[in-house]
Amino acid sequence: MRKLFSIALVTCLLARIAYAETNKPLVDFHAQVVKMAGDREAAMMPGFDQIALLRPYGAVIASAKWPTGSIPVCWENASASHKVAMDWTRDAVQRTWETASRVRFTGWQPCAAVNKGIRISISDEGPHVTILGRYLDGKKNGMVLNFTFHNWGYNCQTSREDCIRAIAVHEFGHAIGFTHEQNRSDTPGECKLLAQGRNPDTVLTPFDLESVMNYCNKNWNNGGLLSEQDKKAVAFLYGAP
């Protein structure tokens, strides 16, 4: 009975999450869900880590792919007080998605009224995108990033740079069409409880527990680094560097 109640509680909490692709606060969600669902034994069964390799699904929405690899970026509310954090964001994206593919994010200037591309708002709330990939094109406040962590993710106040970089890599993954890895139909075990947002529809790589897009990754946002499968997926989607 206690186990059923815990599972129901998790399901209820997840049902309250908004549709937007929001980035989770800095906690170990994999361990938390295992504990709440009381399913640690199932998660440790032989084959848990390998079962997803039988069916290769890529975590992307095919129609969300940008038509070219050159994607404009601008800041809705750029300010001198956020310059260092804005530079961390740009550098993190260049070191990951740009290094692993032909994607190039251009501009990085204050937004004008009619700017196309990815429009970023800086706000002390849960980082997110309002929609995936090319559908962000020209959408005001289409991506939200948090640089202060007073109202959300307060744990990040002691590691601001690491958090800002890791969040940027995750959110820019959404911005080029990647869904959450745990949303795949072949997601194993308790990781299914973490599904959020759109489901992928395109075959690219096997299920990747280490993906920067996977909430079930024990290393939050994979420490801001792309996994080997992330690199293969973005190179396949936008071309190898």
> Any idea which of 24-33, 53-62, 122-131 has the lowest mean pLDDT?
24-33
Q: How far is CA 169 from CA 12, 112, 149, 189, in A?
A: 29, 24, 17, 26
110: phi then psi, degrees, rounded to nearest 5: -60, 140
Is the torsion defined by CA of 214, 168, 71, 137 positive or negative? positive
Residue 24 confidence (pLDDT): 55
- Is beta strand 104-110 parallel, antiparallel or unpaired with respect to 21-22? unpaired
The average pLDDT across 113-137 equals 94
Is it the case that residue 147 has pLDDT exceeding 80? Answer: yes
Q: For the whole model, what pTM was predicted?
A: 0.75
Q: Which of 41-45, 96-100, 123-127, 230-234 is the most confident on average? A: 96-100
Residue 74 confidence (pLDDT): 98
% pLDDT > 70, the chain: 66
The average pLDDT across 129-157 equals 94
Residue 192 confidence (pLDDT): 63
> Any idea which of 22-31, 43-52, 95-104 has the lowest mean pLDDT?
43-52
Domain ranges (residues) in the chain:
1-46+56-241
Residue 195 confidence (pLDDT): 60
DSSP 120: E
Q: Quick one: pLDDT band at residue 198, thresholds 50, 70, 90? A: low
Q: How far is CA 70 from CA 23, 65, 73, 112, 217, in A?
A: 25, 12, 10, 19, 29
Q: Quick one: pLDDT band at residue 200, thresholds 50, 70, 90? A: low
Residue 240 confidence (pLDDT): 95
Q: What is the overall mean pLDDT for the chain?
A: 77
Is it the case that residue 52 has pLDDT exceeding 60? Answer: no
Residue 239 confidence (pLDDT): 95
Is it the case that residue 107 has pLDDT exceeding 90? Answer: yes
Q: How far is CA 118 from CA 137, 173, 189, in A?
A: 6, 12, 35
Is it the case that residue 38 has pLDDT exceeding 80? Answer: no
The average pLDDT across 157-164 equals 94
Listed in order, strand segments (DSSP E) in the chain are 21-22, 70-75, 104-110, 118-122, 128-129, 143-145
The Cα 36–Cα 93 span in angstroms is 34
Is it the case that residue 48 has pLDDT exceeding 60? Answer: no
Domain boundaries 1-46+56-241, corresponding CATH code: 3.40.390.10
Do 61 and 200 touch, CB atoms closer than 8 A?
Answer: yes
The Cα 241–Cα 234 span in angstroms is 10
The average pLDDT across 2-26 equals 43
The Cα 173–Cα 155 span in angstroms is 23
**135 Cβ partners below 8 Å, 6+ apart?**
64
